[in-house]
Amino acid sequence: MVDALVLLDSFGFLPADVKRMSRIMRRGVEEMLKYENKLPGRKERIYTYEAAKERLKAANQFLTDKSAEILLERGVERVDGGVRFTRDIRINLTNIVRNSLEQCLLMQSQISAKVLVVRANEGFEKTIPQPEEIMIPLLKGWSNEKNSIVTVDGDHHVHLNNPERVAPIVTDFLMSQTSYKNEKTCGVNQASKL
């Protein structure tokens, strides 16, 4: 049901070293238990809008003022005394869902939608470097006749900080998929009339 997929400075699938998988999963479970134990007495933090913006920027050095404001539009709600973040704090916990490189490559190969991978030259590959034995097969898995890989200048948030670098690429890709879908649909409609 998905005709096209756009990955913005994402690895798509990120495998875990099989030797470290049980330790990572254990850490994730322990973090979740610790989090759940704190829930009953946990007080909700209320920020001024400016303090929330500064908090967001402190957590991510690549955000500009404008980018932080865009994220705050959907990430806070007004309450008595200021704003509160609406995100689920559990996103910061260690993810226990882990796959090996082989599993990632298998899942990647089963994606039937056309995929556009937009990489930022100062993005995840620089901030979260991965060994070549992981990155080369993952990129090779996206490299085929139906997918496109494009690299743009910028950091992980280039789509927020400099949308003019990303928007035309994504728009062209999605428009080409719409044209393809319309041609397929028209062909089916024409064939059914015969």
pLDDT digits (tens, 9 = 90+) for 87-126: 888 888 999 989 999 999 999 999 999 999 999 999 988 8
How are beta strands 114-122 and 4-8 bridged, if at all?
parallel
Contact 147, 114 (CB under 8 A): yes
| Residue 185 confidence (pLDDT) | 54
| Number of structural domains found in the chain | 2
**Axis crossing angle, helix 132-142 with helix 101-109, rounded to the nearest 10:** 10
Closest CA to 85 of 61, 64, 55: 55
3-class SS shares of the chain: helix, strand, coil, % to 5: 55, 15, 30
Count how many residues are written for the chain.
194
110 with 188, same domain: the answer is yes
In which element (H, E) is residue 115 found?
A: strand 114-122
| Residue 186 confidence (pLDDT) | 54
CA atoms within 13 A on the CB side of 16: 14
Whether pTM > 0.85 for this model: the answer is no
| Residue 79 confidence (pLDDT) | 94
pLDDT at 180 over 70: no
Q: Which of 70, 92, 114 is the last residue of a domain?
A: 92
| Residue 174 confidence (pLDDT) | 93
115 with 146, same domain: the answer is yes
Structural domain for 56, as ranges: 24-92
User: What's the rounded mean pLDDT across residues 4-18?
Assistant: 91
184 with 127, same domain: the answer is yes
157 with 181, same domain: the answer is yes
Span 25-44, pLDDT tens digits: 999 999 999 989 988 877 88
Span 123-175, pLDDT tens digits: 988 888 888 899 899 999 998 888 999 999 999 999 999 999 999 999 999 99
